[in-house]
Amino acid sequence: MTHAARNVAIVAFAQSAHRRRTDGLSEVETLMPVLHDALGHVGLTARDIDFTCSGSSDYLAGRAFSFTMALDGVGAWPPITESHVETDGAWALYEAWVKILTGAADTALVYAYGTSSAGDVRDVLTRQLDPYYLAPLWPDPVALAALQARALIDAGETDEQALAAVAARNRAAGPQGAAHRPRAAGDYVVAPLRARDCPPIGDGAAAVVLAAGDTARRLHDRPAWIRGIDHRVETHALGVRDLTDSPSTRLAATRAGAFDAPVDTAELHAPFTSQEIVLRKALRLGDGVTVNPSGGALAANPVMATGLIRLGEAAARIHRGASDRALAHATAGPCLQQNLVAVLEGETR
């Protein structure tokens, strides 16, 4: 089921400042103000929430079971109904959405956090690869994205100039005062990708509140209704995939209802400039669509929260009346292996 039988909306979104490092703070110290902020937007406390779900990965900071420590920031007593996904928080939102659709909950708190500064994220992310044929070679995410970028250039779908334009537009749109400002082209990290084509490395957290039907209407005068969500995964074998396309994104979008009517906004989780090219094609986004008004993953990339932030940013635009129908996308795995698409709508006023 991808079209909702029950109306569920994002009613609040909050995120931390995005910093290169937060080594004065524990993860719960980074996360807790964000949770309070999101709940505060709708006048709730953790005790009013029926279901709590989070996304993070212990490998990023090398802290075993860090998500249980993060729960200290929620206040999990008396015992709460809680779940965790070891991937981007966008998938935690998906789980919470399903939970609400079942009728088992009316409200949900979804959060995600990442502390990439504690380790070397280019090394850490090699550990998610096929352990037999890929992980022993330590191919890092920039290398894999560069193979994809080269394939796109060879296919005539983009060139370095077009990638530079993607970088410039996203970075210019990024949050002012954030640690990651627009930067010069930079050297090749792994050619054809230059520093400007790669996401910043940093720490951050984000949270959203979901609510069903009348509860959502009570909590927000313009809820961002989730009209559909779907996620699809492709094979882990890179050499089997067509890296210039994203059939999983297209299928998820179809099943989420993204092609049923035009969207005015798209928040795409494209950590590398070349991946925005792939996603625009898969999602058939025309020039009339505002893509990544938040600056996307190129402006701030707290790994494990970046996808959830796309959903939150799209919802926030609907909340403030800047969008009526928005698409939000999240990705996981190398070269856009797994993709989630959500369609959000505000009611006509």
Partner 1 sequence: MPEPLTAPLVVEFPFTRSLGPVQSAFLTGLRERTVLGVRTTDGQVLVPPVEYDPRTAEEIRDLVEVAATGTVTTWAWNPAPRRGQPLRTPFAWALVRLDGADTALLHALDAPGPDAVRTGMRVRVRWALERTGAITDIACFEPHDDEATEPTERAATAHASSPGVFADPVTAVTTPARLDYTYSPGRAQTRYLTALAGRRTVGERCPACRKVYVPPRGACPTCGVATDEEVEVGPRGTVTTYCVVNIKAKGLDIEVPYVYAHIALDGADLALHGRIAGIPYDRVRMGLRVEPVWTEGARYPDHYRPADEPDADYDTYKELL
57 or 294: CB nearest partner 1: 57
131 or 286: CB nearest partner 1: 131
Please state, in angstroms and rounded to a whole number, the distance separating the CA atoms of residues 143 and 67.
29
Minimum Å distance from CB 205 to partner 1? 13
Helix (H, G, I), strand (E, B) or coil at 229: strand
Please state, in angstroms and rounded to a whole number, the distance separating the CA atoms of residues 328 and 331.
10
Q: Which of 337, 150, 136, 338 is nearest to 238 (CA)?
A: 337
42 or 263: CB nearest partner 1: 42
Residue 168 token pair: 């410039």
**Strand 224-233 versus strand 290-291 pairing type:** unpaired
Minimum Å distance from CB 30 to partner 1? 8
143 or 164: CB nearest partner 1: 143
Minimum Å distance from CB 103 to partner 1? 26
In the complex, the residues that contact partner 1 under the rule CB under 8 A are 23-29, 32, 35-36, 46, 59, 61-63, 69, 71-77, 117-120, 122-124, 126-127, 131-140, 143-144, 146-151, 154, 187-188, 190-193, 235, 237-240, 243
249 or 265: CB nearest partner 1: 249
Which DSSP string corresponds to 262-328? --SEEE---SSHHHHHHHHHHTT--TTSEE-TT-HHHH---TTTHHHHHHHHHHHHHHTTS-SEEEE
Residue 117 token pair: 């500064």
Minimum Å distance from CB 220 to partner 1? 22
Minimum Å distance from CB 50 to partner 1? 16
